[in-house]
């Protein structure tokens, strides 16, 4: 079952989140990445997951940070998030 889940998850390869805020901080990028992961699982796989991301080290473009999605069955999938623009974070499935 876990392998089937992981094969389906590969459909969620890249997700980009744009957000607007007057003054962005590390928490904005972390929360945006978590929200994007949860929404993509729900939208593409019709599966509820929780997502947790580390706070990025800075808010500079190019900064990366790690995220984990956990399914109801406890299966975890790792993602990498990167700040790609001033108000944009891109989330990719880790190989």
How confident is the model over 24-83, as pLDDT tens digits? Answer: 788 888 998 999 889 888 877 777 889 999 999 999 999 999 999 998 888 898 999 999
- Does 53 map to a domain? yes
Please give the sequence-ordered ranges of beta strands (E in DSSP) within the chain, or none if there are none. Answer: 14-18, 49-53, 64-71, 76-85, 88-93
pLDDT bin (cut points 50, 70, 90) of residue 94 is confident
What is the predicted pLDDT for the residue at 3? 46
Which of left, alpha, beta for 46 (phi over 0: left; psi -120 to 50: alpha)?
A: left
pLDDT surpasses 50 at 1: no
Q: What are phi and psi of 36, to 5 degrees?
A: -60, -45
- Does 1 map to a domain? no
- Does 81 map to a domain? yes
- Does 70 map to a domain? yes
- Structural domain count of the chain: 1
pLDDT bin (cut points 50, 70, 90) of residue 20 is low
Asked whether the beta carbons of 92 and 79 are under 8 A apart, the reply is yes
| pTM: predicted TM-score of the whole model, two decimal places | 0.79
- Does 60 map to a domain? yes
- 70, 37, 19, 22: CA torsion to nearest 10: 10
- Does 5 map to a domain? no
What is the predicted pLDDT for the residue at 28? 87
- Does 43 map to a domain? yes
What is the predicted pLDDT for the residue at 23? 63
Residue partners of 45: CB distance under 8 A and separation at least 6 = 8, 9, 11, 12
SS3 label, residue 82: strand
In terms of residue numbers, what domain contains 28?
Answer: 15-93
- Does 61 map to a domain? yes
Per the model's pLDDT, the better-predicted residue between 19 and 45 turns out to be: 45
């Amino acid at each position: 079952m876990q392998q089937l889940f992981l094969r389906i998850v590969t459909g969620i390869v890249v997700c980009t989140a744009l957000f607007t805020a007057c003054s962005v901080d590390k928490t904005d990028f972390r929360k945006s990445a978590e929200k994007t992961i949860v929404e993509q699982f729900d939208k593409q796989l019709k599966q509820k997951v929780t997502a947790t991301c580390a706070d990025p080290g800075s808010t500079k473009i190019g900064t990366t940070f790690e995220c984990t999605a956990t399914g109801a069955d406890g299966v975890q999938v790792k993602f990498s998030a990167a700040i790609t623009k001033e108000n944009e974070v891109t989330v990719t499935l880790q190989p």
